[in-house]
Amino acid sequence: MTHVARRIETDNAPPSFGHRSQAVAFGPYLFTGGQVGAPLNRDDDVETGIQGSLEQQVGHCLNHLQAITDSLSAPLTVVEVAAFVAQPDSRASVAEQTREFLGHEVGLFVYEEVETVALHGLIEMDWVAVASDQEENAEAVLKELSGQGDQSSEILRDPFLALNGLYGHGENLGEASVAVFESASRRLEAHGLSLDDILKMTVFIDEFDTYAQFNDVTKDLFHAEVLPTRSVLVAPEVTRDGRIRIDLVAAS
């Protein structure tokens, strides 16, 4: 069966600022974009920095992700949660709060410490949910796509292609973004795919001050009606000697 990607947007969660989708549904899968720990109804002060403890911010993230998932009006089970945290040694507390919120243990819990997230918050989270009768198969697929820790990999697992560890170099983030998407295009084309087949991106950059350059590049390169979801983190140690690293999942 050939699946068709659908863009998912709801007013019950913060809008998808930037050239991206709030979430993408593909077959039995729902891929959300990253949500930060700011309340839904933000005041002007939040733009200078999200307030509140890590626990409070995790709560906001989870509520936003649940609102997006509930907008499909279908029984879905969360099978993968990614937490990008700017507060050291928080894995256990974030994982426990997530388990209590969902009411079950998540099969795949991705935790990574970063320098900062959007709006200078403490955490950004995204998740993957699937039709409840597809839980076991989806966990196996998603685990394989992650590369099991491999920092640079190309994994084809029907119905997806994952490219992990794509690095971009340049004088600025704009040049580096063009370079990384040129690399992604070549590897996608080898499978008969294009940038418009990307469903989800996890983006690590070396600083947020130039993030607008990355967004401008995506506006030039992505033209499909359904734009990929995106989580963007500042993590110079992840970008290594480049300015940007992207891990992506495309529909194969």
pLDDT tens digits for range 102-114: 999 999 999 999 9
Say how many domains are in the chain: 1
Residue 160 has pLDDT above 90, yes or no: yes
Q: Within a domain: residue 36?
A: yes
Range of the domain at 124: 6-251
- Domain assignment present for 140: yes
What would the two tokens of residue 69 be? 């998932």
CB 199, CB 229: distance < 8 Å: yes
pLDDT of residue 150 exceeding 70, the answer is: no
Is 185 a domain residue? yes
Residue 225 belongs to a domain? yes
What's the CATH code of the domain at 159? 3.30.1330.40
Res. 1 pLDDT band, cuts 50 70 90: low
Query: Residue 88 domain-assigned?
Result: yes
pLDDT at res. 201:
97
Q: Model confidence at 129, in pLDDT bands (50, 70, 90)?
A: very high
Q: Residues 91-104: pLDDT tens digits?
A: 999 999 999 999 99
> For residue 1, is it within any domain?
no
Residue 45: which pLDDT band, with cuts at 50, 70 and 90? low
pLDDT on residue 84: 98
